[in-house]
Structure 1
């Protein structure tokens, strides 16, 4: 009997424990899950490619001079920012003053020669030739013509010699420049052709003078026959007359030579600087001039980066370059600009040839691009590294939802919607542009309630919508995110 009572008691205990267990399980099943819902938003979405870039310049001004002047002061150093018209270098002012004094001396000598010439003309004008016979006058006229021809030919010969010497000197300079590709082949051929032509003219003029002299000798012989009857004094007078005429010709030649020398000195004066001013606004990138040393005319004194010709050079991976097009907008950021400031630019060039970059454990195929930006007072300098965000694709006024609300399964995308009676329904969505944080959807309505925390939900489940809950559901923003809302990261071949 006691045994039966014990068995019954044990059964009652087991039944009681089972009732408690099933009661707890039922309570858990009756607990309804809380969810947060959001409606799709109308906004913008964009894809972008990021890359590191380097600020460079297209226009570089190199400063040269033609003379070995001595530098007295250099006013700038590498890296200095300068404005157009700023003094860069000054030279010994005595060099320019010395040339001016030489020019002044030449003008004084010309004045003295001109006074001598007037005296010679006066003496000739007072000489009488009334006693000459008509026959002799004719011969004298012929001789004078020949002498004039000879004098003119000699003057022309001297001019050709002077021009040839100047041309030879110019040719030697330009031949050296041509060998170092300092001038074009057209300029070199031009000076070479000029030199050859002058040499031919010189040879022709010498032959012409010799021919004139032969003719003159023939006239003299004819005159000697005619003047045999003249007195020795008259003959000496005529010889003196010729000598005086030659003196006049020499004076005129000396004046011409002085004028040519003045022309050369004035050119030299024009090529001699007291100081050099910057031709552009920009940054000094190299300085070769040294104080108290003479200039090496083959090297530039300094180089200046034209600040208005800045651009950014970057390299994009071969995978991402397909999304990059000329004229695409670019957002340019740099620590130099600060965290909240950026410049706007655009892609202006995409290289037609890719290249391979290799490093420790990596190999990238990259394509170079150029980005131009227009900032009159740019804080960026040549050599600075910047970050580029290239907007490769952008849509405005489209329906977007958070990416974390999308459920992907078997190559399809779904969202969980809250329907009537707080019943969960599952809907396949068609998507457009997708970034890291949001997705463009093509087949939702603006009133659809999308469940944000839908990972553990099942279709047909009843849930409880709440405004806010203590969870890790990210905040969903549409407006105020700029053009992006997610980026296709890349373009970082720099290591």
Structure 2
């Protein structure tokens, strides 16, 4: 019996000692909890959807020649930037010279026929030639004149050179040195770099936020470091295209550049942010500073006595980094950065501003988002 009493007493002592240790440690940890605080600040609030797109030309010009000439020299390569009027190709003059000789030969023949006609007309007057012979010569002269006109027109179509019709980028180049032209195919294609747009495929989820006229911010590795272009949404496709790879559909959006002082080239890959919400000079707080309790939102304000004041707020938009706070707090109020549902009104807390010493780190509340109650 005594043995049982002793054992029971020992168990009671051990449990009581454990309770005292737990209470001491818990109380100590609670006292040592240090909360990081932030100020409610005013700033601009932007929401956007982001995707990669491709620069496209709205004006691609195909350059042909009507004659199967031989290219003598090509001066630009695929992808080169050219100015209006710059020399792109020259042609071997052999074919053109041959055409010119044909014209000249026919003109010599015409002069001979014209002399024969004059002589025959004089002979008709004295009975030395028949009227029919003279008329036949006149008929030959008319045919020669028509033939010469055709040959001259053909000769004018022989070009010595081809110059760029616009400022642009060569997007396709078929012609090369010693290339015999195929008149059914273009010599080259050139895109007008002053008339470019960006085509972007957004998912249905993102596209639902996009409207005509919205601002776009465009960046690219092809631009000088730090340079940014702006644009405007000008067209939204009326139909979506199924993307079999991801089992989702996408909508093509066209964006026209607002500033093109720095030229991109068709085919350049760009990053596009379409801003669908812009709010200026509004109160912003970190997303983690807001506590959601069944659809009602709260923040924990720290007053000048380091005491907690739990305030209900009206939230606006969020980008999952910050909340726009419409009502409930003022600019410069001090808030607990990571809202803790266990905090109570009037509770005194330690914060980073009053507890952190040089060379030491404060123990921070480790919640990652607004706790759900």
TM range, normalised to the smaller chain? 0.7 to 0.9
Give 1:349 shift.
1.2
TM-score, scaled relative to structure 2: 0.79
- Provide the rounded CA distance (Å) in 1 between the counterparts of 2:136 and 2:74: 49
In the aligned structure 2, how far is the partner of 1:262 from the partner of 1:100?
11
What SS is found at the alignment partner of 2:242? Answer: strand
Distance in 2 between the 1:30 and 1:54 partners?
56
Decide whether aligned partners of structure 1 residues 44 and 268 sit closer, same or farther in structure 2, where only a CA change above 3 A counts: same
| Alignment-derived partner of residue 331 in structure 2 | 446
Q: Is residue 400–residue 441 contact of structure 1 (8 Å, CA) maintained in 2?
A: yes
Shift of the alpha carbon at 1:419?
3.2
Aligned to 2:194: 308
Q: 1:424 aligns with which of 308, 318, 325?
A: 308
Distance 1:380 1:94 in 2: 40
Distance (Å, rounded) in 2 between the aligned partners of 1:421 and 1:66: 89
Residue in structure 2 matched with residue 73 of structure 1 by the alignment: 73
Structure 1 unaligned spans of 5+? 1-13, 128-236, 475-495
Corresponding position of 2:41: 41
Name the CA distance, whole Å, in 1 between partners of 2:138 and 2:330: 103
For the Cα contact (< 8 Å) 1:46–1:433, is it kept in 2?
Answer: no
- In structure 2, what is the Cα distance between the partners aligned to 1:30 and 1:327? 54
Instruction: Give the direction of change, closer, same or farther, for the CA distance of 1:90–1:22 in structure 2 (3 Å limit).
Output: closer
In 2, Cα distance between equivalents of 1:70 and 1:26? 93
Deviation of 1:381 after TM superposition, in Å, equals: 2.6
Which residue, out of 219, 222, 227, partners 1:341? 227
C-alpha distance in 2, partners of 1:460/1:421? 10
- Alignment partner of 1:381: what SS? coil
1:69–1:434 Cα change, 3 Å: same
Q: Residues 109, 22 of structure 1: CA spacing in aligned structure 2 closer, same or farther, 3 A cutoff?
A: closer
- Between the two proteins, the alignment pairs up a number of residues equal to 344
Q: Cα deviations across residues 53-112 of structure 1 (Å, max 9, x unaligned)?
A: 122222222222222222222333322222222222222212222323333343444444
Question: Cα offset for 1:357?
Answer: 0.9
Aligned residue for 1:432, secondary structure, equals strand
Task: Show structure 1 runs of 4+ deviating over 6 A.
Answer: 20-27
**Native 8 Å contact 2:170 2:189 kept in 1:** yes
CA RMSD in angstroms, aligned pairs only: 3.4
Give the aligned partner of residue 369 of structure 1: 253
The change in CA–CA distance for 1:107 and 1:374 in structure 2 (over 3 A counts) is: farther
Structure 1 residues 23 and 78: CA distance shift in structure 2, 3 A: closer
Please name the residue that 2:213 is paired with. 327
Distance change >3 Å, CA 293–CA 419, structure 1 → 2: closer
Q: How does 1:70-469 map to 2 (within 5 A)?
A: 70-122=70-122, 237=127, 243-244=130-131, 246-359=132-245, 362-376=246-260, 378=262, 380-419=264-303, 421-443=305-327, 444-446=329-331, 448-455=333-340, 457-464=343-350, 467=353, 469=356
How far apart are the structure 2 equivalents of 1:428 and 1:53?
42
For 1:472 and 1:313, how far apart are their aligned partners in 2?
49
> What is the distance in 2 between the residues matched to 1:255 and 1:426?
109
Deviations 1:184-225 (A, max 9, x none): xxxxxxxxxxxxxxxxxxxxxxxxxxxxxxxxxxxxxxxxxx
Structure 1 or 2, whichever has the larger Rg, is 1
Contact 2:34-2:362 at 8 Å conserved across structures: no
Structure with the largest fraction of helix: 1
Q: Tell me the equivalent position of 2:8.
A: none
Partner SS state of residue 252, structure 1 = helix
Task: Report the TM-score when normalising by structure 1.
Answer: 0.61
Q: Distance in 2 between matches of 1:248 and 1:375?
A: 74
Residues in 2 aligned to 1:291 and 1:319: alpha-carbon distance in whole angstroms: 51
Q: Would you say the 8 A contact 2:83–2:167 is kept in 1?
A: yes
Task: Establish whether residue 60 from structure 1 lines up as the match of residue 57 from structure 2.
Answer: no
